[in-house]
Structure 1
């Protein structure tokens, strides 16, 4: 068995172990259930309101958008946070020190993110199907669209998170990065129909993957009549695949360059300095 194959197998196993450990960690478990709970509360708070021009409850629109938002945050923010933290605590340096260690490291993180996102989507989809009218996976085609949109969404957003994580030396800065992520999500129609936004905002957000993630999730989880309130009056599946695929291809060309540069700069002295700074920070 060559070192590359061994690194891939070891990385996949590591991803599974990290995911399994997250199921025994109270903080991680809270993270799995907190976002679905918040969106459920928001969905119930809109009461009997419906999507303009349809009889579909507004709560169903919010929960469908939440699925796209979850993938966007998992691929972008969570990956960036993990990289920044493991850069500081020396995990990245230890991976760099073994043959094909960086390959194994990123295979492991990919597997972990895939498992974590799958569980997160299941948690955010199953309870609302039972509790919110108008929210349901739309048959076999709906399941198909949900799966490929989530997978392609991770393909598009994980490089974004990796690039951000490679540029951040202090994990506490992630909170500042979260603000533009939230603003972009709100402007992209995650919480309400994007047609309520000004025209220039509608044009701008179509450049970013979060709009297309939300659109794809809504196509899988809302009745066909909900498409009439979208910008094109349809679900635009080809456009969703094209934009997300383009973000993924460009991201996987750019992110590895940034990550390799980050890895080359890592050393024992830099990790020790980072640990000292972390210990001296006020909490």
Structure 2
């Protein structure tokens, strides 16, 4: 077994172990459950609302977009926050000091965040299916399409998270990452049709993966006739795949470059400097 396959295997195992520790830690577990429970409550309250003349449940139409939003949040912020925190506490430096340590470290983070995203998806989809009518959950094709969009969404989101996590060294600056993501969610048609936005806002939303993830999830889980509420009255399958694949390819090219530059700058002195600044802020 060569060094590469060994690193991949150890990294995957590390990701599973860290994920298990997350679910055994009450504080971390609450951080996973509370957002999902809050969204479920909101969807439950929206279940009797209707989308215009279609008569379709507003809650059921919103659920797929919420699933896409959850994937983006987990993929980007989950990986970015981990990288920022573990740069400060020295975990990243220790990984750098071991043979193939960075590869093992990153594989572990990707595996852990990806599984966390899947768990978050199921936490919304499974309970939501019991009180929201009209979801296309009895079709093998729908599940395959959902799986495909999930994989593409993670491939598009995780490299962005790695880039953000490499650019910021202070966990307290994490709001800089969150604010633009929240703004994009607001204009990406997650909780209401994007057609309600001005044309220039629609254009901005379509540049980023949040809109396409939401659209892909709606295409997989909603009846075909609901496409009338979308731009062009179509699910735009090819455009969705193309946009998410483009973001994934850009991220796969850019993220390793940024990560390598970040890893080269990591040293004991830089970590101690960040720690001293953190202590000064506390004092």
TM-score where L is the length of structure 1: 0.95
String of CA shifts for 1:222-249, please: whole Å, max 9, x gaps: 2222111010212112111111001010
Secondary structure of the residue aligned to 2:232 is coil
Partner of 1:38: 38
Partner of 1:86: 86
- Is contact 1:64–1:135 with CA below 8 Å preserved after alignment? no
1:267 and 2:267 correspond = yes
String of CA shifts for 1:80-128, please: whole Å, max 9, x gaps: 1111011111111111111111111111111111211111111110001
String of CA shifts for 1:119-173, please: whole Å, max 9, x gaps: 1111110001002223452511110111110111010011111111110010111
- Is contact 2:47–2:60 with CA below 8 Å preserved after alignment? no
- Is contact 1:77–1:161 with CA below 8 Å preserved after alignment? yes
Give the Cα–Cα distance (whole angstroms) in 2 for the partners of residues 196 and 138 of structure 1: 31
Give the Cα–Cα distance (whole angstroms) in 2 for the partners of residues 256 and 172 of structure 1: 24
Give the Cα–Cα distance (whole angstroms) in 1 for the partners of residues 111 and 120 of structure 2: 14
Give the Cα–Cα distance (whole angstroms) in 1 for the partners of residues 108 and 48 of structure 2: 44
Partner of 2:50: 50
Give the Cα–Cα distance (whole angstroms) in 2 for the partners of residues 281 and 131 of structure 1: 48
Partner of 1:24: 24
Give the Cα–Cα distance (whole angstroms) in 2 for the partners of residues 218 and 238 of structure 1: 14
Distance apart, 1:270 and its partner CA: 1.3
Partner of 2:161: 161
Partner of 2:104: 104
RMSD: 1.5
TM-score where L is the length of structure 2: 0.95
Give the Cα–Cα distance (whole angstroms) in 1 for the partners of residues 138 and 226 of structure 2: 12
- Is contact 1:128–1:135 with CA below 8 Å preserved after alignment? no
String of CA shifts for 1:17-57, please: whole Å, max 9, x gaps: 11111110112211222222121222233353211231111
Secondary structure of the residue aligned to 1:191 is coil
1:4 and 2:21 correspond = no
Aligned residues: 283
Partner of 1:130: 130
- Is contact 2:79–2:110 with CA below 8 Å preserved after alignment? no
Task: For 1:231-242, list aligned pairs within 5 A.
Answer: 231-242=231-242
Unaligned runs of 5+ in 2: none
- Is contact 1:129–1:136 with CA below 8 Å preserved after alignment? no
Partner of 2:183: 183
Partner of 1:60: 60
Give the Cα–Cα distance (whole angstroms) in 2 for the partners of residues 124 and 44 of structure 1: 11
Give the Cα–Cα distance (whole angstroms) in 2 for the partners of residues 46 and 127 of structure 1: 15
